[in-house]
Amino acid sequence: MLRLGTHEFGADEPVIMAIVNRTPDSFYDRGATFRDEPALARVEQAVAEGAAVIDIGGVKAGPGDEVTAEEEARRTVGFVAEVRRRWPDVVISVDTWRHEVGEAACEAGADLLNDAWGGVDPLLAEVAARHGAGLVCTHAGGVRPRTRPHRISYTPADDAPDTSGVVDDILQTVLGLADRAVRLGVRPDGILIDPGHDFGKSTRHSLQATRELGRLAETGWPVLVSLSNKDFVGETLDRPVDERLVGTLATTAVSAWLGARMYRVHEVAETRQVVDMVASIAGHRPPAVARRGLA
């Protein structure tokens, strides 16, 4: 079972996490939700389209101008409080690797800490434990926050493809982070694992992680995938950021079939249809309408 905030999600229930970037330099929306009014409108739209989780981030993942912990908190914490006031039942996630920001965000009402940089700040898990918040345990290949991988490699098994070692490394890392979180007192039903597509990975590594996603699902921990418009999709299809939706949705469908539970996305409505369709094919969800052949 997965429990976040006031929500308990069933074992076969897909969960949409909508991205709300509180940054002026996001790779995807170029600061469209940096100001409060459009950011709140984005939350309203995402909830209406079927998002159960709102993921609020104050620092873009890629390189750029330095953002201090104080500035990151300024961009996110007050907004968390306002989202909590307006949408008391929505699950609020904060995308941060810093324990100071996580502490303030949890005090403001956050339910989940999305640590996309693989536990680089070991105190963040302690914050989650102290506040009863959930925690995302991500594989980032050991790279420093906001840096890009350079000729990164993972040791494959004998006679295996040169990308196969990445999944072994992912499993070792995320299971270690999850076990540590439990020892620190983080609720086991609030922990998710994330293979970290693009983070510390080449395009071939991210494709391999997708291909073998079932291995993560088999661990029993709910799997979060953050696929939306990422570079590995763009490189695979040779498409710029604003032309990656089709590739993202294809990867989403494969991930859903292989057992992913939560999907961190920009396009909520489209993702909702994809994961609902996969759930229906798998037999976990009845059709919304089933009139054909009955008249």
Number of structural domains (the chain) is 1
Q: Does residue 88 sit within a domain?
A: yes
The pLDDT of residue 158: 55
In this structure, what CATH number is given to the domain that contains residue 107?
3.20.20.20
Q: Residue 181 sits in which domain range?
A: 13-282
What are phi and psi for residue 118, nearest 5 degrees?
70, 40
- Over the chain (295 residues), the average pLDDT of each successive run of 10 is 96 97 82 91 98 97 94 97 98 98 98 97 98 98 92 75 80 98 98 98 96 97 98 98 97 98 98 98 96 89
Q: What is the DSSP string of 49-97?
A: TT-SEEEEESS-SSS-S---HHHHHHHHHHHHHHHHHH-TTSEEEEE-S
Q: Does residue 242 sit within a domain?
A: yes
3-state secondary structure of 224: strand
The pLDDT of residue 32: 87
Full-model pTM: 0.95
Q: Does residue 292 sit within a domain?
A: no
Q: Does residue 294 sit within a domain?
A: no
The pLDDT of residue 29: 74
The pLDDT of residue 136: 98
Q: Does residue 1 sit within a domain?
A: no
